[in-house]
Each structure stands twice: as structure tokens, then as C-alpha cells.
Amino acid sequence: MAIIPERVEEPLRSVHARLEEILRTAGCEGSVHALDIDSGVSVGLHAERVVVAASVFKVAVALEVYRQAAAGDLRVTDQA
């Protein structure tokens, strides 16, 4: 477990509260966990829950598509 500097604690509480509000407003449940790999600081909502990560791979694919588009190597309007 990372030691969280005092200057970071309040923003993390705000993020947690906002995540709860978004899910409540949407009428759904969810879990999220984000980790800053440089500092070790993390924030999560129900991060301890075990979930099936079947769609997580799609995030990496989407990031690569956007990276290639930003670099001009891919036009997202093209069809295969």
C-alpha cells in the first residue's frame, strides 16, 4: 500500500465521491482502480471487488488507434 501525501488525500476523496455520484446517477454499479505508476498513489471505487476483465483489452486497442490517428498514421474514417 502506498503512503499518500497529505496534499493528495483531499483530491482523492473528491475523485471517489464523484465516481460514486456518476454511478448512482446512471443507476448502475461499477468498480474502478487507477494507479499512478510513478508515485504509487492510487484511487478506486470498490477496487477490491473481483471482476471479469474481458473488455479491458479494448482500452489498449482504442488507445493505440487514437495514438496512430494523432500521429497521422491512421485515418479513423477509413474502412477495411
Q: Across the chain, what does the average pLDDT equal? A: 81
| Cα dist from 73 to 60, 64, 70, whole Å | 17, 11, 8
Residue pair 35/47 in contact (Cβ under 8 Å)? The answer is no
User: Across residues 16-25, what is the average pLDDT?
Assistant: 87
How much is the pLDDT for 3? 47
Is 26 or 5 the better-scoring residue by pLDDT? 26
Burial grade of 60 (CB within 10 A; 0-12, 13-18, 19 or more): exposed
Q: Where are the domains of the chain?
A: 6-70
21-39 pLDDT, tens digit each: 988 999 988 888 888 888 8
Cell numbers linked to 29: 454499479
How much is the pLDDT for 52? 81
Residue type, 43: V
43 band by pLDDT with thresholds 50, 70 and 90: confident
Is 80 or 15 the better-scoring residue by pLDDT? 15
